[in-house]
Structure 1
Amino acid sequence: MFKDIIVGVTPTGIDQCAVRAAVEFAKQFEAKLYVSHVAGMDQGWGSIETLAPSGETEKLRERIVEMYGELVSAVPEAQVSVVAGIPHNELLRLARTKNADLIVMGPHTKEYEEKRSKMWGMAGSTLERVSQKARCPVMIVHRDVALKEPLFENILVATDFSEQSECAVHYGGQMARQYKAKLTVMNVLDPAEGGSVEDGRAKLEKRYGERLYGIDSFHFEACEGTPAMEILRVAQQMGADLIIMAHHSKEMDPEKAFLGSTVTQVALNSTCPTMSVNRHFDLRCGLMYDQTGAAVQVEVDA
């Protein structure tokens, strides 16, 4: 499913969970793995400082290899790179060059344990920028991922019916079909728009019911409350092993719609990975489904 995976790291050793997840995904899917650090990121994902290439990059690479080498060695021919530049630009450049279909990042900073919410609310952070502009999904991992077979059994997709959320639902549907997983599509009602929970569920069914062909088990959930809290509550109740959300929702200007809101709160507090989706993606697997629900073979890019 994933063929080219990038994991962004800092030389602090606090990205272990993200690296472990990326390594396990690479092993399971026999994917290529690229471990990347951009010089200037040592203060955390919120830092956009740069360092001139003056020999420091090679020293940093040695630190990265020393820190994560044992983990990464489980993936044949995994590549570790350190470059100087603007962090989000370089990670996005690498993703384009390698035609990556997954970027894995940890939400950690040095002050993560004490100031995680504050740091993640900071506009312009590397994670926000990467999630905003990436051409592939970005998986945010801050706890160890339980690797099992099948990999995903209960997938939760949160939607606010925005154009970006359409992409999230589409991708969640593909994941559910691929893994024959249970899929829950949920919406937290906006009090300003009025309506009841029953109305919200009916809207979900009308909007997405026919699109979820080929999925053995799916249902819709509508509720009222604070979006992040409700998403986390439903995820816990259903035992979700993956949460998929749009990178930004109803904010029309993508330059103003940073990750530091509902997705941030969910990603930082969920017990499973949160996947940020900002545009339409297709899984790089050999099996897709037509509008009748029948499986069809598709070509996969090398």
Structure 2
Amino acid sequence: MFKDIIVGVTPTGIDACAVKAAVEFAVKFESKLYLTHVAGMEQGWGSIEHLAPSGETEQLGDKIREMYDEYLKELPSAQIVVVPGIPHNELLRLARAKNSDLIVMGPHTKEYEEKRAKMWGMAGSTLERVSQRARCPVMIVHKEISCREPLFSNIVVATDFSDQAECAVSYGGQMARQYKANLVVMHVAEPGGPGRSECTARLEDAYGKRLDGIADCAFRAEMGEPAMEILRTARQGDADLLIMAHHSKERDPEKAFLGSTVTQVALNAPCPTMSVNRHFDLRCGLMYDQTGQVVEAEALA
């Protein structure tokens, strides 16, 4: 399923869980893996152009390989990529160049453990910008996971009925078919709006046909604050994958970052969170049939 995987790393070790997960995925799917660090911001803008000539990028690469050597023993072909520049720009540039079908990221901040709540609203963070603009799914891993068989058994997809969420639901259906997993498609309604029964009926009407054939598929509507309800559903259902659409109705980038439900969920979820956005539209029309073969979504309706 994943043939070219990029995992964003720093020399601090804070991304160890993300690296471990990415390596296990790469081994399982015989994927090409690129451990990618974007250097230069710590030294200041003026020195970025001097990093490569000075040999510092090579030194950082050696440090990263040494730091994650325990995991990379399983995948000696993994490449360490160290480039100078702006982190989200370079990660996205490499993902396009490699036609990556998965980006794996950790919390990407040294202060994560102590200041997790503040990190939710870190305007302009690498995590936010990559999730918003990537052309492939972005998996956010903040705690250690184990790669098991099947890889995913219980998948939760959160939708707000937006165009972006259409793709998230389709991708969730694809994953559920591939792994014969249980699938829960949920929506969190605002208090004072449509009730649970009405929202559940809307979920079934909007997504029922395209998810037909999935052995265990349920539709669930909740009321309240989206991030809290999504996290509660994931914990109650023992989810091992959360899928959400990353978008914002805010035009102000600062407010968009501060209001990101995806980030709030991803950094507190009991399992990896996979984010898809409006740029990911090339593959979301594809789904797997019951034999595991890719077919057009319309053929399943």
Do residues 51 (structure 1) and 48 (structure 2) align? Answer: yes
Contact 2:23 2:74 in 1 (8 A): yes
The residue matched to 1:111 in structure 2 has which SS?
coil
Contact 1:245 1:275 in 2 (8 A): yes
Do residues 220 (structure 1) and 235 (structure 2) align? Answer: no
Contact 2:5 2:33 in 1 (8 A): yes
Q: Aligned partners of 1:264, 1:160: CA distance in 2, in Å?
A: 16
Contact 1:122 1:260 in 2 (8 A): no
CA, structure 1 residues 120+247, in 2 after alignment: closer, same or farther (shift >3 Å)? same
Contact 2:190 2:225 in 1 (8 A): no
Q: Deviations over 1:116-174 (max 9, x none)?
A: 22123122111111111111000000111121111001100000111111111111011
Q: Deviations over 1:89-117 (max 9, x none)?
A: 11111101111000000014111111122
Aligned to 1:37: 37
The residue matched to 2:244 in structure 1 has which SS?
strand
Contact 1:132 1:258 in 2 (8 A): no
Aligned to 1:109: 109
Please say which of residues 284-293 and 2-11 is displaced more in the overlay: 284-293
Aligned to 1:158: 158
Q: How much has 1:274 moved relative to structure 2?
A: 0.3
Contact 2:188 2:224 in 1 (8 A): yes
The residue matched to 1:139 in structure 2 has which SS?
strand
Name structure 2 gaps, 5 residues minimum: none
Aligned to 2:5: 5
Contact 2:107 2:141 in 1 (8 A): yes
Query: Pairwise mapping of residues 93-104 of structure 1 onto structure 2 (< 5 A)?
Result: 93-104=93-104
TM-score (norm 2): 0.89
Q: Aligned partners of 1:111, 1:127: CA distance in 2, in Å?
A: 14
Contact 2:36 2:82 in 1 (8 A): yes
The residue matched to 1:229 in structure 2 has which SS?
helix
In percent, how many aligned pairs have the same letter? 67
Q: How much has 1:48 moved relative to structure 2?
A: 9.2
Do residues 288 (structure 1) and 294 (structure 2) align? Answer: yes
Q: How much has 1:40 moved relative to structure 2?
A: 3.4
Q: How much has 1:76 moved relative to structure 2?
A: 3.9
The one-letter code of the counterpart of 2:268 is N
The one-letter code of the counterpart of 1:185 is V
Aligned to 1:195: 194
Aligned to 2:203: 204
Q: Aligned partners of 1:284, 1:3: CA distance in 2, in Å?
A: 17
The residue matched to 2:96 in structure 1 has which SS?
helix
Q: Aligned partners of 2:154, 2:14: CA distance in 1, in Å?
A: 28
TM-score (norm 1): 0.89
The residue matched to 1:149 in structure 2 has which SS?
coil
Q: Aligned partners of 1:122, 1:134: CA distance in 2, in Å?
A: 19
Aligned to 1:270: 269
Contact 2:171 2:287 in 1 (8 A): no
CA, structure 1 residues 248+25, in 2 after alignment: closer, same or farther (shift >3 Å)? same
The one-letter code of the counterpart of 1:267 is A
CA, structure 1 residues 2+143, in 2 after alignment: closer, same or farther (shift >3 Å)? same
Q: Aligned partners of 2:79, 2:175: CA distance in 1, in Å?
A: 27
The one-letter code of the counterpart of 1:3 is K
Query: Pairwise mapping of residues 52-131 of structure 1 onto structure 2 (< 5 A)?
Result: 52=49, 53=51, 54-131=54-131
The one-letter code of the counterpart of 1:51 is I
CA, structure 1 residues 140+213, in 2 after alignment: closer, same or farther (shift >3 Å)? same
Q: Deviations over 1:209-251 (max 9, x none)?
A: 11112312101000111111111111111110000000115x1
Contact 1:12 1:42 in 2 (8 A): no
The residue matched to 1:20 in structure 2 has which SS?
helix
Contact 1:50 1:86 in 2 (8 A): no
Q: Aligned partners of 2:39, 2:183: CA distance in 1, in Å?
A: 40
Contact 1:145 1:272 in 2 (8 A): yes
CA, structure 1 residues 65+222, in 2 after alignment: closer, same or farther (shift >3 Å)? same
Aligned to 1:239: 238
Aligned to 1:299: none
CA, structure 1 residues 252+208, in 2 after alignment: closer, same or farther (shift >3 Å)? farther
Q: Deviations over 1:256-277 (max 9, x none)?
A: 6437521111111111000011
Q: Aligned partners of 1:68, 1:133: CA distance in 2, in Å?
A: 27
